[in-house]
Chains A and B, each alone.
Chain A
Amino acid sequence: MKHTFSRLLLAAALLGPVGAHFAQAADVVELRQPNASKVVVKLQFRNGSSADPVGKEGLTFLTSQLVTEGGTKAMTAAQLKDFLYPMATTYYATTDKEVTTFTFEFHKDFTDKFYPVLQGLILTPSFTQQDFDRLKSNQLNYVEQVIRASSDEDYSKFALEDQLFRGTRFQHMTRGTAAGVRSLTLDDVKKHYAAAFGKDNLTIGIAGNFPASFAKKLKDDLEKLPKSTAKPVVPTVAAPKGIHVEIISKTDALGSAVYAGFPIQTTRASDDFAALMVANSFLGEHRKSYGRLYDKIRTTRSMNYGDYSYIEWYENGGQNMLPVPGVPRHANYASLWLRPVQIAEGLRKQYPTELGGLTVGHAPFALRLAVREMDNLVKNGMSKEDFEITRTFLRSYVKLYGTTPSKQLGFLLDSKFYGRKDYLKELDGQFAKLTLDDVNKAIKKHWQTQNMYVTIVTDDSEAQPLADVLKQNTPSPMSYAKVVSEGLPKEVVAEDAQVANYKLNVTEVKVIDTKDTFK
């Protein structure tokens, strides 16, 4: 029964705006923890960057930042900062594609003192020109400069989404596009706040050590919010025909950062998802040395720092070891993350006598190996033994997702988003019931390797030679230094030969200048 119900929810979500089922009043999630020293309040609005008006990409993000950065009707921003300073309260806003979440954390000693501030920020935020100018400038700086020059890993990840969701409201980064952010005005912010942050698209979450009266007051006060008119727009995305590769060429990149992905039609709302979690964990659990990809690309061949796979958005994977809540989505995709591999120039410099003539670095080999591993899993499924140990791992591991009150509350809010009561708790029951057959069926149903998008951020010296190899599907033998190749086991050498000649179904390859991204 549940299965059917979840599918209905999913179908509804994929077909149109997700606001159709909302009640008029805010939903509430409470997690009372009498031993805790603090209180966490999360206010999650169903808007997100996909609710940005066309041409105003980045507006939801900027609006939410301005709420937390400004003052209230009762206190200016400066007075408020002075007032809160000794309490060390923490509050911030995060905007993803479909939700914006305000998180407030404060010590229980200050519940009464802090509450008027919380209430004022949400109900009567002061949107000043001064704060607006500053935050807009920072946001523009991020989309124009910082994202291109701070982390090639994040760059390739956002660029993959740009490709995957092209033409939809999921395409732009949550911080927006350069043109979108440039066009924003303070008036846009004020209007968007009234339109996109309403009591009818709000879920209230409260965790920690708080009295019942606090929860009641919060609920009653937030009833004063207007009804929302802006909705997130959730796309239905099809996989491309063949593998489409975009290579972003920039100066002075030391490596090639690779992200590949294709849409999948399942989310945490579906029981299928738990089955796919097992397959995904086996292939490439995030930041773990157990995954197939990690074992073959990093441990055995020493090609880079790590290689992982995903079946949903993973926030800030370079910093987070465990998934964080607050980024739930209905439009989903599977992806492969290969952290930067060496480019030809770097290998030539390191091993001039052995690799002095190299023209292409490790990227095509790494990509072929990763896709081939996924393909093997699609064709052959998991073994009984691998299934059992991976399931055992996950049954314990998912408990680590919610080790703090804030994370527990966040996952409860995400549960609501997906139409579940308590996702983390329910998962264990789902894992317990799973069979190997369920997992192998889910793999076949949701994964394939013929049609996907690939984004590679690399050095300008590497971009064209890499494009040529991928376009022409010419063999890409692994270029080992002698120190490594001398000791390789025979089976690795044999597998290398197969990987080097593995045909990727590449149908399109483009080289793009870094200046032309996220415009």
Chain B
Amino acid sequence: MKHSVQTWLLAAGLLAAPLAQAQKKAAPAATTPAATSTAAPAFPYPIQQKQLANGMNVVTVPFDSPGLASVFLVVRAGSRDEVEPGHTGFAHFFEHVMFRGTDKYSKEQYDQVLKSVGASANANTSLDRTVYHMTGNATMLEKMLEVEADRFQHLKYAEHDFKAEAGAVKGEYTKNSASLYTQLNEKVADAAFDKHTYEHTTMGFFKDVVDMPNQYQYSLQFFDRFYRPEYTTLLVVGDVKTEQVNQLADKYFSMWKRGSYQPAITQEPEQTAPRYVHIQNANFPPLVSLSYRGPAFNDQSKDLPALDILTTMLFSDNSPLYQKLVVKEQKVRFVGGSPNYTRDPYLTSIRASVVKAADMAYVKDEITKALEDLKTTPVDAKRLADTKSALKYSFLMGLDSPDQIANGLAQYIWLTGNPQSLNNFYALYDQVTPADIQAAAKKYFVPEHLTVGTIGPNPTGGVQ
């Protein structure tokens, strides 16, 4: 159930950085027996796919939205791919540069086209990808694809424009940094990872953001590496026909040349002891966050579905933990948590906004105790079935408009490159048993894999 206070807390406090920018999470079909079965897929619309000879994937989902179409370009490059020191935050910065124009369409001309299409267009970057999206007049589909194909293949920006854009990115950092939650996200990621590029948030380290005006040459290299057909999927949802989309994709994208770059991403070694970070602030609600190392996304493994079901069950507002901490004792304003869906192993984060700072240690212990219980006591079969049902209906109710549908599907495109992963993944949910939940709890909620983040009035968090 969504209540507005909770919604606000959820947006501001619960989610770690990648999810804050990511899509509404989808959920499983309750009656699909197996990933390979012929049962109805979780996603209720047919997914049409065609791969161009250069490796670019073209995905079309016709949807009843008269006169409207959403065009998404999903580039599988995000802050995860910033492998060289000094360039953190660059994928996000580059997203801004992509709006700086080409020989054919200067920035002003590009804007005029968007105006003529009547489009809502923008882009966002996260750990694993950058997504460019445009929703507008379906009869202008060809124009939309033409301008997008043009900048993806022929982006051209002056060095001055590049330097100027850096100020806007610093402004974005300034805006975000007003939130202590953002500051804590930064600290937690930095503490939880030493080797993997997930150690920084998508915004990047501040020193690198400040240095961006000096990275023009690197930006050319970045474009050359990642803005390639093999990294990109064109996704069109709405009042369109598949043949029309494929034909236009051929016309505008087939001459795009494949690249060869593959980033060498250092995997994170196993964590051997808990880590702690803290922000001292007496004028803000105290917060406890527990971030455990989690699995990478995989549409053939039950680990993530089990963690998703487990956290939904544990933190829903009818759960014993929620009823105790939030409703009865009123020591907590909000508690919640969920795994992140990422290409490499990342974090499953749990957060509690605590009423009194003196209760921070107690709240942490109560959450830890609830996680420990899951390792030893099998979950109730009805509760498990109810949770699967809740996730299924929550997923179905979120598919109202072309942009929502494209958003949901884009997540699976950037995770695996294949939108059908959505159906594969949700088919796994029904296979999750009480034993799987116990196994996932034992495997992932171990103290040595934990990073604790706190906000409180004292010099330390005091929850060790």
Tell me the A residues contacting B by CB distance below 8 Å. Answer: 35, 37-38, 65, 68-69, 77-78, 81-82, 84-94, 105, 107, 109, 130-131, 133-135, 137-139, 141-142, 145-146, 148-153, 253-255, 257, 287-290, 298-305, 318-319, 321-322, 339-342, 346, 350, 389-390, 392-397, 399-400, 403-406, 481, 483-484, 486-488
Contacts and interface: CB of A to CB of B under 8 A. Distances in A.
A141 B210 CA distance: 34
Contact of A254 (B178, B213, B397): B178
B400 A403 contact: yes
25 contacts: A35-B64, A65-B5, A78-B327, A88-B397, A90-B397, A92-B2, A94-B4, A109-B393, A131-B327, A145-B284, A145-B285, A146-B12, A151-B179, A153-B175, A153-B178, A301-B167, A302-B163, A302-B167, A305-B171, A305-B174, A340-B174, A350-B210, A389-B115, A404-B400, A483-B163
Nearest to A148: B283
Contacts of B67: 399
Contacts, number: 234
Contacts of A84: 1
A400 B210 CA distance: 37
B396 interface: yes
A414 B137 CA distance: 24
Nearest to B209: A350
A38 to B, nearest CB: 5
A158 to B, nearest CB: 14
A87 B393 CA distance: 6
Contact of B116 (A35, A37, A392): A392
Given A139-B5, A342-B171, A484-B213, 15 more contacts: A37-B396, A38-B396, A86-B389, A105-B397, A134-B327, A141-B355, A146-B284, A152-B178, A254-B178, A288-B114, A304-B168, A346-B174, A399-B67, A400-B118, A481-B167
B40 interface: no
Interface in B114-149: 114-120, 122, 135-137
Nearest to B30: A86
A138 B65 CA distance: 39
Contact of B180 (A78, A150, A392, A484): A150
Given A138-B5, A342-B170, A289 B68 contact: no
A130 B7 CA distance: 20
What are the 10 A-B residue pairs with the smallest beta carbon separation, nearest first?
Answer: A396-B118, A487-B160, A302-B167, A304-B171, A88-B393, A81-B318, A403-B401, A86-B389, A404-B400, A393-B115
A340 B118 contact: no
Given A255-B174, A399-B68, A135 B5 contact: yes
B403 interface: yes
B402 interface: yes
A137 B356 CA distance: 11
A254 B174 contact: yes
B343 to A, nearest CB: 26
A283 to B, nearest CB: 14
B163 to A, nearest CB: 4
A305 to B, nearest CB: 4
Given A86-B390, A484-B213, A302 B168 contact: yes
Nearest to B133: A321
B376 interface: no
A339 B136 contact: no
Given A134-B326, A290-B115, A487-B160, A400 B285 contact: no
Nearest to A304: B171
A215 to B, nearest CB: 20
B281 A69 contact: no
A77 B323 CA distance: 10
Interface string B321-333: 0010011101001
A404 B401 contact: yes
A48 to B, nearest CB: 14
A284 to B, nearest CB: 13
B120 A254 contact: no
Nearest to B118: A396
B118 A399 contact: yes
Interface in B345-402: 355, 385-387, 389-394, 396-397, 399-402
Contacts of B172: 305
B168 A305 contact: yes
A148 B283 CA distance: 9
Contacts of B281: 149
Contacts of A301: 164, 167
Contacts of B120: 321-322, 397, 400
Contacts of A88: 389-394, 397
A484 B160 contact: yes
A65 B8 CA distance: 13
B181 interface: yes
A130 B2 CA distance: 19
Nearest to B282: A145
Interface in B58-103: 64-65, 67-68, 99
B250 interface: no
Contacts of B168: 298-299, 302-305
Residue from B64, B136, B178, B393 having most chain A Cβ neighbours under 10 A: B178
A87 B390 contact: yes
A255 B107 contact: no
A69 B3 contact: yes
A348 B107 CA distance: 31
B397 A85 contact: no
Contacts of B159: 487
B180 A340 contact: no
B194 interface: no
B330 A133 contact: yes
A78 B324 CA distance: 11
Contact of A405 (B1, B64, B181, B400): B400
Given A107-B397, A290-B115, A403-B400, A488 B174 contact: no
A130 B327 contact: yes
Nearest to A322: B120
Contacts of B386: 85-86
A91 B396 CA distance: 16
B320 to A, nearest CB: 10
B158 interface: yes
Contact of B317 (A81, A109, A303, A483): A81
Contacts of B8: 142
